[in-house]
Amino acid sequence: MTHDALILSYDTATSNCSIALTKGGFDECQVIASLSLHSGITHSRRLLGSIDWLLRESSLTLEDVSAIAVGLGPGSFTGLRIGMATAKGLCQASDKPLIGISSLDAIAASVSSDKLICALLDARKKEVYGCFYRCGGADIARPCSEAFVMEPNVLAQQILEPVILAGDGVDVYAAVWDEVLGNRCEKATNRQKFPAADIIGFLAAEKYHNNDFLSVDSAVPAYVRASDAELSLARPSRGFQLTAEAKNKSNND
């Protein structure tokens, strides 16, 4: 299958900002240009400028692009919001379609193995975001579970077969994987630590061919878990409960 679409893709789910211009899917992949930034500067300060630089250095403009693909997460809530807002702005300005790709899918697609694959991203709060994948024959890794957020120890105890772990959640909780999984666990290389924009572009080529686009108006990142602000809105705070209890006590007195 040939995909001639020129895809501008990027991912801001982690501290690493990856941007790429690609043509074709995994069968006939071509990286026109790519860059990866891990400088500690916030995505809001460097994303648009980096996209503009990559296009100019490739002698291209946004008008030459067929579609814009963004990593949906899960990952940093702030990074994902910046990434989605930027993608929507670019699509509205250029009238290009929007494609969303799971950041975990991008990590897993860089791994090729007959073993079970688990993509992991550090979710902070002593948890990891993850998803399981398998490669069918010569095919790329495809998800065989829903994305989840879980404590590393709980996750490790559920893995009962040889597995390849990939993503930045591997190093953060290396001691857990070693203790619980032992020799059942193989760790991917550092090249598979973060979602790569070129992989997102190759995955997006298939969606472009199938007209599988997101609505620019209603698209949202794949957060997997609620933010602290949303959790606070969903349940009363302890302070409110104490205040209510104190008020009841006062009324009874």
What the chain holds in terms of domains, given with CATH numbers, is 6-103+195-229 (3.30.420.40), 105-192 (3.30.420.40)
End-to-end Cα distance, the chain: 78
How many helices and strands in the chain, by DSSP H and E? 9, 11
Cβ(118)–Cβ(159) under 8 Å? yes
> What does the alpha-carbon distance between residue 213 and residue 83 come to, in Å, rounded to a whole number?
16
Cβ(198)–Cβ(20) under 8 Å? yes
The predicted model scores a pTM of 0.87
Average pLDDT score over residue span 91-111? 97
CB atoms within 10 A of CB 237: 9
> What does the alpha-carbon distance between residue 127 and residue 153 come to, in Å, rounded to a whole number?
9
pLDDT at 27: 85
Distance of CA 36 to the CA centre of its chain: 15
Question: pLDDT tens digits for 192-210?
Answer: 999 999 999 999 999 999 9
> What does the alpha-carbon distance between residue 73 and residue 83 come to, in Å, rounded to a whole number?
10
How far lies 99's CA from each of 15, 102, 231, in Å?
A: 22, 10, 29
Mean pLDDT, all residues of the chain: 88
pLDDT at 238: 37
pLDDT at 227: 58
The structure tokens 């630089």 sit at 53
Q: 103: which residues sit within 8 A by CB, 6+ positions away?
A: 11, 13, 14, 71, 72, 73, 74, 75, 121, 195, 222
Question: pLDDT tens digits for 5-37?
Answer: 999 999 999 999 999 999 999 888 899 999 998
Taking every pair of Cα atoms in the chain, the longest distance, rounded to a whole number of angstroms, is: 79
